[in-house]
Amino acid sequence: MTTHGDAVGPSALSAVPAPSDEKNQVSGAAGGPTERTGASQIRPENHGNRPEPVEAPPAVRRLTTALTRLRAALGAVSYPLVLPSADEARRVGSALTAQLDDYLLPRLARLDAPLLVVVGGSTGAGKSTLVNSLVQAPVSTAGVLRPTTRSPVLVTHPDDVPWFGRGGLLPGLTRTGESSDAPHALQVVATPSIGPGLALLDAPDVDSVVDQNRRLASQLLAAADLWLFVTTAARYADAVPWELLTTARLRGTVIALVLDRVPLDAAAEIAAHLGEMLTANELGSAPLFVLPETDLDQRGLLPDSAIGPMRIWFAQLAGDANARGTVVRQTLDGALSALAPALNGLAEAAEDQLRTARALDERVEAAYRGAQRTTEEGLRDGRLLRGEVLARWQEYVGTGDLVRNLESRVGHLRDRLVAALTGRTTSGQSLRVALESQLVTLLRGVAADAAEQAYAAWQAHPAGAALLEPGLQRASADLPERADRLVRDWQQFVLDLVRTEASDKRAVARGAAYAVNGAGLAVMIAVFTTTAFIPTGLEVAAGAGSAVAAQKVLEAIFGDQAIRTLAARARTELMERVEKLLATEAARYTERTSAVRTETTHGTLLRQAAAEVENARKELALTGSGS
């Protein structure tokens, strides 16, 4: 067996002596050839209590507080809109949350806890055989069928079961004493053949055909104090393992490598090439163990000639508290320092969500602002005075001669108003219905147009298209009913307004309620023209005489200024009611982006949390440099 590099180099493992090829050292390894007892697969909860941790120093407490706040900030962001950044943000956010729960917070709470070595690698690399051989017992199932490893297997000394067996690290995994197909199960095996202070975790394949296995492998690797990556002479250049190795390096995880099943005649060449690849990927200081092709013994284990020096190396690491502490602190510090760039990316993704939600909302608001403007124009340009409304108004006010002569007869109208209008209830009702129908038709039309425009605007954006459903392309089903109610309520408002304004006028003091109805209808007609009652060309075409008639009727009762005040108030009230109606229609769209719009501060909170964690990390100075 050989190693790449001299005495491991400057990594955290440099405190551990490089492995030796002297066979006589094997007897000094944990378990030794003469002490190979069978491993006991036990229920971890039957083994004592975890040692009580000592009170953490202030710097550790501050870092713990910062990480807890970060955990809350991560949990508040959902990235619901379909955007190029969203899938990656959800994946990274989920991974960071898992790492906080599985590793960072529990490890920070117990820096002195045993070292966790996660054995990872590609399918068929021989991870389980390697773990079994290191502990000299068949603790993890090995075979030719894939995937072989079902629940991950954690092998630890009985003294360390209280830490690993009760959810210090990886608290979301259910501990079990036997292999299981259940998701989120972690088999814990206690054996004295592995020294106290260090545990080996046989993880699923990083390139498993089973999605759950791949996800679990990534989760376990993120919780490793030391990642022992296993590959073979045939697959050491595969892309997937190198992607994970790069991720581990960027995260600051301490890494050692095993090159398994190396033909003796090609060992030097392959080891040299792998060494070059490690150097090119900034992993040149990582220990490299080269295991030659060899037959397994009757128990399916690697012979001592191949595995003995590696067992000694791990035994020395387990027995050296300072070396273990150095590994833990380097990996922990690296994981903490990697948070800031990841969180900045998540903050950008959160802000991208907010910007997109606002852009989608603006498209909807533009469509319904257009509907509001169309309604206003419909009131101002006289189009509503055509057809049935005009006919009913002329019928209601009187004959054509009356319309022509109203201006010269205004002086007599005050005294004759009630008599002139008495008995014309039917035509007044017809006029009111015609007004209602015309206005409702306008509202239904503008709402339908706005719905189509908003739908088309969202359909042109991937995030908007994902939020659509067919019903949004039309106005809501109850819009006609709500529009009818809006117009009727507005008509009643106008009548009440006229009644209040006329309450102290002697001209109508002796008039019946019909006088109020007549004046109210005249106000409604006036609202359907320009505010100043100056007929435009379009109004003339629509029947300018009708507008003049409305004006003269009102002048006869209230005077010129009162006319303007009543018409302006009635128009304002109508447009406010229309605005609310259209806002309700627009809300069918904007409520779909409301989840994002409530997250206006999440990008800022993520950045603040990242800065707080980084400041606390530097203050704690886990690796001594504080940088």
342-360 confidence digits (pLDDT tens): 999 999 999 999 999 999 9
Most confident of 28-42, 141-155, 197-211: 197-211
Residue 505's pLDDT is 53
The span from the first CA to the last CA of the chain, in angstroms, equals 37
Tokens representing 273 are: 């090439």
Mention every residue, 6+ apart, whose C-beta is less than 8 A from residue 518: 396, 417, 421, 428, 553
Q: Which two tokens stand for residue 45?
A: 């909860």
Each residue of 536-593: pLDDT tens digit?
Answer: 444 444 444 555 555 555 555 455 566 678 888 999 999 999 999 999 999 999 999 9
Per-residue pLDDT tens over the stretch 189-210:
999 989 899 999 999 888 887 8
Hey, which residues does 255 pair with through a beta bridge? 227
Percent share of the chain, pLDDT over 70: 74
Average pLDDT over residues 274-294: 91
Distance separating alpha carbons of residues 620 and 622, to the nearest angstrom = 6
* Contact between 515 and 418 (Cβ < 8 Å): yes
| pLDDT for the residue 565 | 81
Exposure of 72 in the CB half-sphere (CA atoms within 13 A)? 8
CB atoms within 10 A of CB 348: 15
Query: In which element (H, E) is residue 399 found?
Result: none
Residue with the two structure tokens 């959810």: 167
Q: Average of pLDDT values for 408-420?
A: 41
The pLDDT value recorded for residue 502 is: 67
Per-residue DSSP letters for 103-135?
IIHHHHHTTTSPEEEEEEESTTS-HHHHHHHHH
Higher model confidence: residue 326 or residue 239? Answer: 326
CB distance 6 to 275 below 8 Å: no
Give the 3-state DSSP-derived string for 241-268, with helices as H, strands as E and coil as C.
Answer: HHHHHHHHHHHCCEEEEEEEEECHHHHH
Q: Classify burial at 492, counting beta carbons within 10 Å of its beta carbon; exposed 0-12, middle 13-18, buried 19 or more.
A: exposed
Identify the residue with better confidence: 181 or 507.
181
Which is more confidently placed, 368 or 126?
A: 368
Tell me the mean pLDDT in the region 277-294.
Answer: 91
Q: CB-side exposure of 139: number of CA atoms within 13 Å?
A: 36
Going from the C-alpha of 23 to that of each of 7, 37, 130, 293, 466, the distances in angstroms are 19, 20, 18, 18, 65
- What are the distances in angstroms from CA 494 to CA 369, 487, 514, 529? 25, 11, 14, 16
**Better-predicted residue by pLDDT, 435 or 100:** 100
* pLDDT for the residue numbered 209: 79
Task: Map residue 428 onto helix, strand or coil.
Answer: helix
- Residue pair 529/564 in contact by the 8 Å Cβ criterion: no
Q: What token pair was written down for 23?
A: 């066979």
Residue among 432, 418, 602, 410 at smallest CA distance from 511: 418
The answer to whether residues 360 and 619 touch, using CB atoms and an 8 Å cutoff, is: no
Which tokens is 33 given?
């050839």
What are 525's two structure tokens?
């007609």
Whole-prediction pTM: 0.74
Predicted local distance difference test score (pLDDT) of residue 545: 53
Q: What is the pLDDT of residue 340?
A: 94
Instruction: Provide the percentage of residues in the chain whose pLDDT is more than 90.
Output: 50
Q: Nearest Cα to 352, choosing from 247, 461, 456, 454? A: 461
How many other C-beta atoms lie within 10 A of the C-beta of residue 342? Answer: 19
**pLDDT band with cut points at 50, 70 and 90 for residue 393:** low
Structure tokens at 335: 């994981």
- pLDDT tens sequence across 62-79: 999 999 999 999 999 989
The pLDDT of residue 532 is above 60: no
Q: Is the pLDDT of residue 371 over 90?
A: yes
Q: The tokens of 303 are what?
A: 């012979």
Q: Which two tokens stand for residue 176?
A: 């079990």
Asked if residue 39 has pLDDT above 60, the reply is no
Region 378-398 average pLDDT: 69
Rg (CA), the chain: 41
Q: Which residue has the higher pLDDT, 237 or 522?
A: 237
Asked whether the predicted pLDDT for residue 145 surpasses 80, the reply is: no
Which are the contacts of 417, defined by CB distance < 8 A and separation ≥ 6? Answer: 507, 508, 511, 515, 518, 553, 556, 557
Q: Where are the alpha helices (DSSP H) in 196-319?
A: 211-222, 239-251, 267-280, 304-319
Mean pLDDT of 378-397: 70
* Per-residue model confidence as pLDDT tens digits over 304-343: 999 999 999 999 999 999 999 999 999 999 999 999 999 9
Residue with tokens 């409301």: 594
* DSSP-derived secondary structure for 318-361: HH-HHHHHHHHHHHHHHHHHTHHHHHHHHHHHHHHHHHHHHHHH
Tokens of 317: 């690491």
Q: What angle do CA 572, 577, 581 make, to 5 degrees?
A: 145
Averaged pLDDT of the chain? 80
- In this predicted structure, the answer to whether residue 415 has a pLDDT above a threshold of 60 is no
| Token pair of 99 as six digits | 């790492």
Using one digit for the tens of pLDDT, what is the confidence trace for 584-618? Answer: 999 999 999 998 887 778 999 999 999 999 999 99
Query: Using an 8 Å Cβ cutoff, are 107 and 130 in contact?
Result: no
CB 527 within 8 A of CB 571: yes
Does residue 3 carry a pLDDT above 70? no
- Taking alpha carbons only, the member of 534, 497, 539, 542 closest to residue 519 is 497
The predicted structure's pLDDT at residue 552? 59
DSSP state of 17: P
pLDDT at 112 over 70: yes
- Prior bond of 147 cis (ω within 30°): yes
**Residue-by-residue DSSP string for 20-76:** ---GGGGGGSTTTGGG-PPPEE--GGGS--PPPPPPPPHHHHHHHHHHHHHHHHHHH
The distance of Cα 298 from the centroid of its chain, to the nearest Å, equals 53
Angular region, 18: left φ>0, alpha ψ -120 to 50, beta rest: beta
- Mean local confidence (pLDDT), 623-627: 70
What pLDDT, on the 0 to 100 scale, is given for residue 500? 83
